């Protein structure tokens, strides 16, 4: 997600970080590039302008130029401004369901945005996490299969849907859904409205009528993040007609650029509450501004990395390792050490997300099946089943040795091979990054 924006910003900050002391024109130049990067990532112009102005004001106000680590401080300011633009830290995605049940939630959006799927995802989430009894109803009488689609999704999710009655208008269905929910003691009624390929007056009038009837406690707009600026325009139009209380961005698992997420809050005033991250019914995440800012920057939260590193890492060891890495010598002992530190610092995903320029590496790791903590422990077991010589020189690992290692670690030869392959790729990568990436990182860690 967000590759282009994060990569561009990454290289801008890489350069900023390289400087000992910054001059005002360095900051100005970097911010100009940040602006271009934002615009290219489909961030709305006024949002980008406002964002840059805010960063600039703070950078100057905080006398960044004279501080010890000016580059880092600019990065932190940009990060914090991103979090604010995205909707602020600590603002949770909790839906406001505090009303006498049943609480109606209206789902609106264009056709193809993922609205129906998202309705089912949300229903599942409310049932599972918030222990709400949810009834779903499709008010889409235009697309013949729409009501049937929701029924099938409901079956998959184990969520009740309102039985379909032929010939009813959307308003009839809404009324029936609310009544049924009241009688049967449901906590929440999710009303999935009809979409259109584009916004037209008829659609808006229909949705507005339903809104007036159902008086929903939440009106959630579903938009496709892949459509970038169009998603923002769509949101603006819906917002002009309806009191949208929250936005759900779908297809964030694709290579959506950061623009939509960044502009949405600023342009519509409505917070992004959830993000869709896949086709499966559990692929709906609460929106987290801090995490999103970290991903947009592609370098994570530099500040917390530095802090964490100082707390958790054995600095002397890290220094020695960084030297070795920069030379391109990276053996399995080093990998084991990395695993140990990664577990300490909250897992592979967390650490890669925190490291500057590590977006690519993370992608590689993910492609290799990803690492969770349990996975890391298995990898460590494989390495510790090797002899010293094998760890130093993995090339000597023949089939016989691999079988021994697999047995010793309770894994399989395939897993041993997978680890070796991942190690080779990492070693290559580190050699390539050579003096740049890792040494930069080591420099960061050691302040
Ligand atoms: P609607 O016309 O707005 O109701 O859209 P649908 O709910 O029918 O979704 C259209 C397609 O988008 C379906 O194939 C969904 O599985 C897919 N979809 C919805 N949300 C996501 C998402 O977050 N990620 C991905 N990859 N696909 C999604």
Query: Which residue's alpha carbon is at the smallest distance from atom 12 of ligand 1?
Result: 114
For residue 321, what pLDDT is reported?
Answer: 63
Question: For residue 242, how far is its CA from the centre of ligand 1 (angstroms)?
Answer: 23
Q: Does some domain include residue 313? A: yes
Whole-number Å distance, alpha carbon 120 to ligand 1 midpoint, is 11
Q: How far is CA 80 from CA 41, 320, 440, in A?
A: 19, 33, 22
Looking up residue 441, the CATH number of its domain turns out to be 1.10.260.30
Residues 51 and 198 reside in one and the same domain: no
Ligand 1 atom at shortest distance from the alpha carbon of 143: 2
- Residues 269, 214: one domain? yes
**Does some domain include residue 317?**
yes
The answer to whether residue 322 sits within a structural domain is: yes
Sign of CA dihedral 112, 113, 119, 121: positive
Distance CA 362, CA 373 (A): 15
Q: In terms of domains, do 282 and 337 share one?
A: no
Residue 223 inside a domain? The answer is yes
Domain shared by 168 and 128, yes or no: yes
**Residue 227, pLDDT score:** 85
User: Rounded to an integer, what distance in angstroms lies between the CA atom of residue 301 and that of residue 206?
Assistant: 44
Residue 435 lies in a domain: yes
Could you give the CA distance from residue 230 to residue 379 in angstroms, rounded to a whole number? Answer: 44
Tell me how far apart the terminal alpha carbons of the chain are, to the nearest angstrom. Answer: 30
pLDDT of residue 91: 52
Report the alpha-carbon distance of residue 354 to residue 441 in Å, rounded.
Answer: 10
195 is annotated as contributing to ligand binding: yes
For residue 447, what pLDDT is reported? 30
- To the question of whether residue 110 is assigned a binding role by annotation, the answer is yes
Helices (H), 327-358: 332-344, 347-354
Residues 278 and 146 in one domain: yes
Q: Which of 91, 123, 144 corresponds to the end of one domain?
A: 91
* Residues contacting residue 277 through CB under 8 Å, at least 6 positions apart: 252, 253, 283, 284, 285
The count of structural domains within the chain is: 3
Pair (165, 78) in one structural domain: no
Atom 13 in ligand 1: which residue has the minimum CA distance? Answer: 114
Which structure tokens are listed for 414?
């395939």
Residue 96 lies in a domain: no
b (16+ CB within 10 A) / e for 349-374:
bbbbbbbbbbbbbbebbeeeeebeee
Tell me: is residue 424 an annotated ligand-binding position. no
CA of 374 to the centre of ligand 1 (A): 31
Give the CA count within 13 Å in the CB-facing half-sphere of 366: 11
Q: Which domain holds residue 416?
A: 301-445
Are residue 134 and residue 260 in the same domain, yes or no? yes
Q: Is 445 annotated as a binding residue?
A: no
**Same structural domain, 268 and 308:** no
Residue 427 pLDDT:
79
Q: Which of 71, 91, 111 is the last residue of a domain?
A: 91
**Minimum CA distance residue for ligand 1 atom 11:** 114
Peptide bond into 280 cis (omega under 30): no
Residues 87 and 168 in one domain: no
CA-closest residue to ligand 1 atom 20? 114
ipTM entry: 0.98
Do 333 and 418 share a domain, yes or no?
Answer: yes
Question: What strands, in cross-sheet order, belong to the sheet with 134-138?
Answer: 160-161, 134-138, 188-192, 103-109, 218-224, 246-250, 272-276, 284-286
The whole-angstrom separation of Cα 194 and Cα 138 is 8
Distance 282 CA to ligand 1 centre (A): 13
Q: Tell which atom from ligand 1 comes closest to the C-alpha of 254.
A: 26
Q: What is the pLDDT of residue 281?
A: 95
Does a structural domain hold residue 219? Answer: yes
The strand pairing partners of 246, in sequence order, are 220
Distance 256 CA to ligand 1 centre (A): 14
Residues 50 and 108 in one domain: no
β partners of residue 248: 222, 274
Whether residue 260 sits in one domain with residue 164 = yes
- Cα 428 from Cα 431, distance rounded (Å): 5
What's the pLDDT at 36?
80
97 within domain boundaries:
no
Distance from the CA of 116 to the center of ligand 1, in angstroms? 7
192 is in an annotated binding site: yes
Q: Of 293, 311, 339, at which residue does a domain stop?
A: 293
pLDDT of residue 300: 42
* Domain CATH code at residue 52: 1.20.120.140
Q: Which residues line ligand 1 (CB under 6 A)?
A: 109, 111-118, 195, 250-251, 253-254, 276-279, 283
Give average pLDDT by consecutive 10-residue segment, the chain, 447 residues.
53 62 72 79 83 83 55 72 77 67 94 95 94 96 90 96 94 97 96 87 92 95 88 90 93 74 83 92 89 65 43 54 66 79 57 52 57 75 90 91 92 92 81 52 37
């Amino acid at each position: 997600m967000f590759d282009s924006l994060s990569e561009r910003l990454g290289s801008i900050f890489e350069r900023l970080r390289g400087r000992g002391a910054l001059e005002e024109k360095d900051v100005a130049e970097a911010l100009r590039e940040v602006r271009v990067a934002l615009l290219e990532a489909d961030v709305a112009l006024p949002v980008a302008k406002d964002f840059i102005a805010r960063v600039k004001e703070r950078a100057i106000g905080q006398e960044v130029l004279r501080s010890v680590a000016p580059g880092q401080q600019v990065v932190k300011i940009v990060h914090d401004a991103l979090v604010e633009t995205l909707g602020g830290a600590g603002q949770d995605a909790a839906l406001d369901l505090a009303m006498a049940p049943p609480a109606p939630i209206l789902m609106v959006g264009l056709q193809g945005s993922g609205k129906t799927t998202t309705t089912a995802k949300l229903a599942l989430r409310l049932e599972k996490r918030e222990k709400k009894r949810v009834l779903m109803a499709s008010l889409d009488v235009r697309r013949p299969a729409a009501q049937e689609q929701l029924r099938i999704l409901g079956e998959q999710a184990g969520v009740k849907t309102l039985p379909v009655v032929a010939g009813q208008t959307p308003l009839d269905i809404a009324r029936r859904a609310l009544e049924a929910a009241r009688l049967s003691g449901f906590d929440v009624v999710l009303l999935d409205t009809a979409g259109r390929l584009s916004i037209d007056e008829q659609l808006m009038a229909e949705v507005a009528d339903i809104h007036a009837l159902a008086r929903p406690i939440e009106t959630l707009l579903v938009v496709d993040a892949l459509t970038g600026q169009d998603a923002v325009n769509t949101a603006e139009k819906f917002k002009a007609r309806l009191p949208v209380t929250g936005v759900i961005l779908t297809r964030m698992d694709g290579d959506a650029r950061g623009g939509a997420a960044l502009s949405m809050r600023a342009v519509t005033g409505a917070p992004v509450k959830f993000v869709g991250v896949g086709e499966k019914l559990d692929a709906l995440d609460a929106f987290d501004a801090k995490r999103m800012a970290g991903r947009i920057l592609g370098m994570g939260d530099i500040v917390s990395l530095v802090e964490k590193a100082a707390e958790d890492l054995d600095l002397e060891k890290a220094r020695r390792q960084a030297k070795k890495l920069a030379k391109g010598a990276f053996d399995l002992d080093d990998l084991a050490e990395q695993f140990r530190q990664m577990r300490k610092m909250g897992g592979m995903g967390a650490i890669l997300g925190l490291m500057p320029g590590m977006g690519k590496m993370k992608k590689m790791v993910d492609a290799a099946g990803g690492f969770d903590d349990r996975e890391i422990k298995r990898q460590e077991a494989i390495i510790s089943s090797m002899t010293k010589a094998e760890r130093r020189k993995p090339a000597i690992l023949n089939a016989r040795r691999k079988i021994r290692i697999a047995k010793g670690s309770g894994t399989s030869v395939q897993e041993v091979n997978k680890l070796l392959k991942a190690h080779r790729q990492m070693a290559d990568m580190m050699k390539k990054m050579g003096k740049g990436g890792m040494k930069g990182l080591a420099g960061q860690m050691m302040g």
